[in-house]
């Protein structure tokens, strides 16, 4: 029987373990502006200060987790918690192999596995609002979306094809909060990845319907020029919790016990 008690942990009210907090940066407080707000009154979502990993979780870190929690090895995890691609790029269930760099961001990890990994660290996955707040920071501003140069750089990242080999973590400069690699390296799981509703369920739709969302769906968007946000919303809306892909990783977050001081 798989031990999945950590999967049911609340997203709030968790104080990070000391070893987790030491690798995290304090982000916020601030306000997240959803691309598709539920109503005019919810055009901005207040976000309390929180802690976020400075770097994505690496292959080495996730391997250590899988060895300590063998129910999450790829040869033991039930299919309900991860699809057949789970950690399939590793040489074996307990070995990265010569072709996988231990300092690359771990990918091919399901939402269930990412969530449990964070809980084992005394942490959690960031919410969509938290992740987006952190990702909106440029190198010098907590909100860089009004900076044309920063937006141009983000667009350049999103226009590049995936490299044949993922870079090591820490390759991008730290942003205003001291967080790296939020954009331009891999996509990342968030706790409420399926909270943004779209007109067509992308999990059952084909490519044509996804283009309809990206094009026609822009009509109701709060910022019609924010192409990276459209990409992230479309990608998250296509996921299921058991899905894994070769460019989807994660990082952990935690409540800031100091509050918004």
Indicate the pLDDT class of residue 89, thresholds 50, 70 and 90: very high
For the stretch 48-85, pLDDT in tens is 999 999 999 999 999 999 999 999 999 999 999 999 99
Structure tokens at 110: 């399901």
Task: Report whether 195 contacts 35 (CB < 8 A).
Answer: no
Q: Provide the pLDDT confidence category of residue 154 given band limits of 50, 70 and 90.
A: confident
Q: Which of the pair, 103 or 150, is modelled with greater confidence?
A: 103
In this model, does residue 2 exceed pLDDT 70? Answer: no
Taken in order of first residue, the domains within the chain and their CATH numbers are: 5-255 (3.90.1580)
Q: How much is the pLDDT for 148?
A: 81
Between the alpha carbon of residue 252 and those of residues 36, 135, 143, 145, the distances in Å are 25, 14, 21, 24
Question: In which band, very low, low, confident or very high, does the pLDDT at 7 lie, cut at 50, 70 and 90?
Answer: very low
- Alpha carbons 110 and 114: distance in angstroms, whole number: 6
DSSP string across 62-122? HHHHHHHSGGGSTTTS-TTTS-TTTTTTSSBTTB--TTS-TTSBP-S--HHHHHHHHHHTT
The better pLDDT of the pair 3, 80 is held by: 80
Average pLDDT for the chain:
81
Query: How high is the pLDDT of residue 219?
Result: 41
- In degrees, rounded to 5, the angle at the alpha carbon of residue 195 between the alpha carbons of residues 256 and 150 is 65
pLDDT attached to residue 232: 85
pLDDT at residue number 128: 93
pLDDT: which is higher, 54 or 234: 54
Q: 108-138: per-residue pLDDT in tens?
A: 999 999 999 999 999 999 999 999 999 999 9
Q: Average pLDDT, stretch 218-239?
A: 69
Question: Per-residue pLDDT tens for 160-208?
Answer: 777 888 999 998 999 999 999 998 899 999 999 987 654 434 444 444 3
- Please give the Cα distance from 170 to 57 (Å, whole number): 11
CA pair distance 167, 20, nearest whole angstrom: 23
pLDDT in the model for residue 212: 38
Closest among 144, 108, 115 to 251, alpha carbons compared: 115
CA distances from 91 to 70, 73, 87, 111, 250 (A): 16, 12, 9, 22, 21
Q: How far apart are CA 184 and CA 236, in angstroms?
A: 16
Strands 50-53 and 24-27: antiparallel
**How many degrees, rounded to 5, is the angle at CA 253 between CA 239 and CA 17?**
135
Q: What is the pLDDT of residue 4?
A: 36
What number is the average pLDDT over the span 36-54?
82
Please list, in sequence order, all residues whose beta carbon lies within 8 angstroms of the beta carbon of residue 164, skipping any fewer than 6 positions away. Answer: none
């Amino acid at each position: 029987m798989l031990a999945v008690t950590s999967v049911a942990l609340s997203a709030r009210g968790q104080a990070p373990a000391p070893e987790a907090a030491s690798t995290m940066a304090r982000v916020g407080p601030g306000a997240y502006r959803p691309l598709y707000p539920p109503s005019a009154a919810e055009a901005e979502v207040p976000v309390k200060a929180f802690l976020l990993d400075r770097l994505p979780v690496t292959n080495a870190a996730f391997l250590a987790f899988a060895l300590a929690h063998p129910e999450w090895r790829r040869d033991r995890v039930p299919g309900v918690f991860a699809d057949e691609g789970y950690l399939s790029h590793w040489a074996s269930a307990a070995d990265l192999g010569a072709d996988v760099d231990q300092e690359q961001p771990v990918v091919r990890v399901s939402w269930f596995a990412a969530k449990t990994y964070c809980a084992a660290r005394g942490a959690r996955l960031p919410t969509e609002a938290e992740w987006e707040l952190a990702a909106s920071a440029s190198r010098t501003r907590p909100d860089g979306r009004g900076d044309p140069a920063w937006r141009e750089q983000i667009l350049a990242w999103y226009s590049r094809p995936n490299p044949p080999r993922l870079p090591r973590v820490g390759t991008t400069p730290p942003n205003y909060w001291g967080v790296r690699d939020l954009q331009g390296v891999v996509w990342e799981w968030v706790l409420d990845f399926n909270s943004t509703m779209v007109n067509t369920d992308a999990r059952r739709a084909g490519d044509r319907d996804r283009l309809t969302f990206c094009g026609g769906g822009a009509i109701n968007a709060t910022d019609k020029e924010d192409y990276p946000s459209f990409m992230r919303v479309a990608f998250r809306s296509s996921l299921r919790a058991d899905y894994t892909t070769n460019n989807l990783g994660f990082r952990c977050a935690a409540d800031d016990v100091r509050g918004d001081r």
